[in-house]
Structure 1
Amino acid sequence: MKRRQFIANTAGGATYMAMGSGILQACATDQKKHITILHTNDTHSHIDAIEANHPRYPNAGGVTRRAQLVEKIRRENEHTLLLDAGDIFQGTAYFNFYGGELEFKLMSHLKYDAATLGNHDFDNGIDGLYAQLPHAKFDFLIANYDFKNTVMNTHTKPYKVYVKDGIRIGIFGLGIQLDGLVTQKMYKETKFLDPIEIATDMSRILKEEEQCDLIICLSHLGYEYRNDPNKPSDMTVATATKNIDLIIGGHTHTFLERPTIVDNAEGKKVLVNQVGCWGINLGRVDFYFDSAKNSSAEGTSIIV
């Protein structure tokens, strides 16, 4: 059993996390492998940059700028994954006109590795979502939606293991309860499974059976519900489970300058991150592994 220790340092808008027997500086001297996780959430069909007269986010975002930023980071570190936490659809005329085709084509052009599904990804119905799948050259990961009796059956995966520089990275997805957010005729016979139970099972499989060195949950549950603490959220998943290293969230459009660090069910630390909406920010979390696969990490939110 490796002992893990996390250190938070909010200076400079980043979160620093050390895992292993030493502090971050000691761990850094033995860094061998560097994995970069980039992520977005709730882009809501925002292809262009936000208009110049917007009161809060003038000229922010835009897929072209995001592509340039992602490419720059990939040149710095080839061992990079690009992920999305759902609500790809709905929000601009691009979705109204193209039905999601453009969003998936552009994500494929940016070489996203995986995405999970949000409630707005069902806004053209499950058949509309299915119709756009040929344009998506990346994995859809969602473990707590049972699509058995729908057209989406076999077109998503509960999890996938990615290998970067010998580091095994297990990623699974969680979606929000669709009932109450989406009319039943839109998602048809999709069944919602308890996200805490599924996260517990997925993280165990990835840790014990798949022997993953890094476990990531792609979540569209929402960051936190203080008025309803029993409602599943990223924070409740983090505290109720074990083995998860990073939760990348969506749905609540929560702007975090840096990942939140919380204790899991075993008292070990978990990073929880979300970067707002509309492609305004790009999340970045860097993990560093030494020869014994002890790791340190730093995370931040980058304005696009």
Structure 2
Amino acid sequence: MHRSSAQSPRQESPLRLGFCLLMCCALWSCESVQPVQDLSGLDVRLTILHTGDLHSRLIPYEMVPQYTDEELGLAEGQGPFGGAARVATILKDARRNAGRSLHLDSGDYFQGAPIFNLFKGEAEIRVLAEMGLDAAVAGNHEFDEGARNYATQLERWSTYRTLAANYDFESADDPWNSRLDALIDPVAIFDLDGLKVGVVGMGNLSSITSIHEADNSMDVRVQDTMQTIDHYTALLAPQVDIVIVLTHLSLDDDVEIARWCKDVDIVVGGHLHVALDPIKVVPSEVVPGKRVLVSHAGAFAKYVQRIDLVVRDGEVIAHDNELLPVDSSVPEDADMLDLLHDYERELADTIDLTRTVARTRDRLRRFGSIGGDSPLGNLVVEAMQYRSGIETDFGMTNSLGIRTDIQGPADGQTEHDVTVEELYNVLPFDNTITTMFLSGVEVQEMFDYITQRSAGRGCSTQAQISSARFIMDCSAGIADEITIGGSWAPCNNDEDCEDTGEICSALRCGRPIYPSESYELATNNYVASGGSGFYVLENNTTQEDSGISMRDAVEFFMLELSDWQTDSEGNRVATDLNSLYPEGDGRITPRF
């Protein structure tokens, strides 16, 4: 099959941009070595292969499928799941049976497994290139090791187009920014045997602060979503048969794009790890009778979304989709196994991923049942605060830095071994513990921000804390009854608190904060630098980065907990974490 793609223009003035786009498309047409095929009046079939949010799950992994995964075809006993070699098999089989195909990835292929921590994205980009990926949108986690690393890995290994029309890399002083400007395009045009497909990329907005997780952060000016899409799709529409918007936004954003952007035919999205089967069909609010398709393909290499289209004279007249589970029933592609072999061997030689550090008898969840603190969140932040050499007044970390639950036992088993590999999946970021002193006023401001951020997300807390309690009043947007330290005796009102000066907060007695007093906080270096909007901490001059890995602190804490338990013969046994952290304890209590 003959395929070529246009060189896309940079984000410049509309007049110059339009001129560049037309010229690029003209050059693209001249490059064709085959006569232009007239598809007028014909029903043309196109297969779109959609992956997204791979999060470095290049190697198959064990998990206990939850209800949604089971409903979508992942069954317990069919593991290990995922893995690039199985995804490659699905993609090759799909292409073999399709006349025209286009593989699009909706971003966040970096970060989430130890292979990224060791190789910084080299393996992920080589894998996508080996898969024959056509285009990917730049996800927020592609910047987790900094703009320079992302640019370097793309330059060395990428064979596919990287898109983000809404990112303007304006800081010419930083060489890696200008390199990214040369590597990331707003749009791409693909000629699939005469069927012309335009693709506009839209990078993430809500998590743009992830770009600042590394020292070599970049200066990105983010463009308005709808205006950017309308601008680029209007330029593409006269030159292509269909227009696809490839996003790393959210499902709600994608539905709005489908509803209100008149030149868009399909939205291929990711970011929130949603898998759609069937894909959504959204009626256009601006083109009577038009129906726009929206696809999301899940996360962690658990699925590949296949979308089969029939296109006639620039209109999608029929479609079907199949969400293909990636489990042990899928053979592994030999070429991909060969590519991954040296990475797996070096990974095994460097990190003992199989070592057990604790045990669970039930799933240890990262989200609380009513939107407050969670058992896993409480464990993680206590591990940070109580780490030798840290030992501060209280601790706090961002909830979304804890990326997944700790698994429970599979059917027929009573316990689940928590391994070092699982800790990398739970805490993939190489964050370190930072300490700083806050006044009572700053503590109030920080907890108010947590409350306001959480209120915008269904009053589900966006932080986890230790040695502190508060009422998260989402309706008022303030943190109420904040306490740091205390006896934590049960209470219903202040009169129940016997220790002098304590108040009753979230059903426990604790010491209230005072504006002029100083409190030492342990947090992670990402939050300390203003990540996730914690700007109240960003300019604190008392910050000290301990250099202690957050993940190592959690591992050490679990091993210390194991010292507390012995079997009948006096031998140390791994901790049953559920007995110590059965559920959230109400230290963050939502008030709706």
> Do these two structures clear the TM 0.5 threshold for a shared fold by scoring above it?
yes
- The one-letter amino acid of 1:81's match is L
User: How far apart are the structure 2 equivalents of 1:280 and 1:85?
Assistant: 14
State yes or no: 1:44 paired with 2:55: yes
Amino acid at match of 1:289: V
Secondary structure class of the residue paired with 2:116? helix
* Superposed displacement of residue 31, structure 1: 6.2
CA shift at 1:137, angstroms?
0.8
Report the CA distance between 1:157 and its aligned residue.
1.0
Partner of 1:95: 116
Q: Which has the higher helix share?
A: 2
Cα offsets for 1:89-115 (capped at 9, x unmatched) = 000001000000000001101110000
Does the CA contact (< 8 Å) of 2:259 and 2:283 recur in 1? yes
Displacement of 1:55: 4.1
Structure 1 Cα separation of the partners of residues 217 and 255 of structure 2? 26
Question: Aligned to 1:251, which of 263, 266, 271?
Answer: 271
* Aligned equivalent of 1:156, options 184, 188, 193: 184
1:138 maps onto 2:168 in alignment: no
Alpha-carbon separation, structure 2, partners of 1:73 and 1:55: 25
- In the alignment, the residues of structure 1 paired with residue 149 and residue 185 of structure 2 have an alpha-carbon distance, to the nearest angstrom, of 19
Aligned mates of 1:187, 1:296 — CA distance in 2: 44
State whether structure 2 residue 320 is matched by structure 1 residue 298.
yes
Give the Cα separation in 2 of the matches to 1:223 and 1:186: 30
Q: Which of 192, 197, 212 pairs up with 1:183? A: 212
Q: What is the letter of the counterpart of residue 183 of structure 1?
A: H
User: 2:225 aligned to 195, 203, 218, which one?
Assistant: 195
| Largest Rg, 1 or 2 | 2
- Out of 303, 306, 313, the position equivalent to 1:284 is 306
1:235 equivalent in structure 2? 255
Counterpart-to-counterpart distance in 2, 1:55 and 1:299: 22
Question: Compared with structure 1, are the counterparts of its residues 275 and 186 closer, same or farther at alpha carbon in structure 2 (3 Å cutoff)?
Answer: farther
- Length-normalised TM-score, structure 1: 0.82
Say which is worse superposed, 265-274 or 86-95, in terms of deviation: 265-274
Deviation at 1:165, TM superposition (A): 2.2
* Percent sequence identity over aligned pairs: 30
SS of the equivalent of 1:153 reads: helix
Deviations 1:48-94 (A, max 9, x none): 1221x534354222111111111111111141111100001000001
5+ unaligned residues in a row in structure 2: which ranges? 1-40, 67-73, 172-176, 327-592
Aligned residue for 1:299, secondary structure, equals strand
Matched, 1:54 2:64: yes
The reply to whether residue 260 of structure 1 matches residue 280 of structure 2 is yes
- How far, CA to CA, are the matches of 1:237 and 1:299 in structure 2? 20
Q: Displacement of 1:153 after TM fit? A: 1.4
The Cα of 1:193 is off from its aligned counterpart by 0.6
User: Partner of 1:10 in structure 2?
Assistant: none
Q: How far has the Cα of 1:180 moved from its partner?
A: 4.0
Deviation at 1:235, TM superposition (A): 1.5
Q: Does 1:34 align with 2:45?
A: yes
Q: What SS class does the counterpart of residue 108 from structure 1 fall into?
A: helix
Deviations 1:269-300 (A, max 9, x none): 1111101101111011111234x455322223
**d(CA) in 2 for partners of 1:156 and 1:182?**
15
User: What is residue 86 of structure 1 aligned with on the other side?
Assistant: 107
- Superposed, 1:62-73 pairs within 5 Å as 62-73=83-94
Q: CA RMSD in A?
A: 1.8
- Per the alignment, residue 77 of structure 1 pairs with 98
Q: Which of 214, 219, 230 is 2:247 aligned to?
A: 219
The CA deviation string for residues 215-272 of structure 1, in whole angstroms up to 9 with x for no partner, is: 1111001112xxxxxxxx1112222211111101111111211211112232421111
SS in 1 for 2:90: helix
Which gives a bigger RCO, structure 1 or 2 (Cα 8 Å, sep 6+)?
1
Tell me which residue corresponds to 1:168.
Answer: 196
CA deviation map 1:193-223 (0-9, x unaligned):
1111111111111102xx2111111100111
Q: Match of 2:367?
A: none
Give the conservation status (yes or no) of the 8 Å contact 1:122–1:186. Answer: no
How far, CA to CA, are the matches of 1:251 and 1:32 in structure 2? 33
SS state at 1:237 partner = helix
AA of the residue aligned to 2:131: L
In the alignment, is residue 123 of structure 1 matched against residue 140 of structure 2?
no
- Give the secondary-structure state (helix, strand or coil) at the position aligned to 1:284: strand
Q: Partners of 2:153 and 2:276 in 1: how far apart?
A: 31
Match of 1:230 in 2: none
Instruction: Tell me, in whole angstroms, the C-alpha distance in 2 between the residues paired with 1:186 and 1:221.
Output: 24
Is the 8 Å Cα contact of residues 33 and 165 (structure 1) preserved in structure 2? no
**Which stretch shifts more, 153-162 or 265-274?**
265-274
For each residue in 1:108-158, what CA deviation from the matched residue of structure 2 results, as whole angstroms up to 9, or x when unmatched?
011100000111111001111011012111100110001242131111111
The whole-number CA distance in structure 2 between the counterparts of 1:186 and 1:88 is 20
| Residues 144 and 210, structure 2, Cα contact 8 Å, conserved in 1 | no
CA distance in 1, matches of 2:90, 2:157: 23
Q: Report the Cα distance in structure 2 between the residues aligned to 1:198 and 1:59, rounded to whole angstroms.
A: 41
- Output the CA distance in 2 between the equivalents of 1:181 and 1:93: 19
Contact 1:39-1:84 at 8 Å conserved across structures? yes
Give the TM-score taking structure 2 as reference length.
Answer: 0.43
Q: In 1, are the aligned partners of 2:143 and 2:210 still within 8 Å (CA)?
A: no
Give the Cα–Cα distance (whole angstroms) in 2 for the partners of residues 252 and 37 of structure 1: 20
Q: Structure 1's 213 and 187: CA in aligned 2 closer, same or farther, altered over 3 A? A: farther
Question: 1:121/1:297 Cα in 2 relative to 1: closer, same or farther (>3 Å)?
Answer: same
Alpha-carbon deviation of 1:161?
A: 0.8
Distance 2:48 2:294 in 1: 13
Q: Say whether 1:205 aligns with 2:239.
A: no
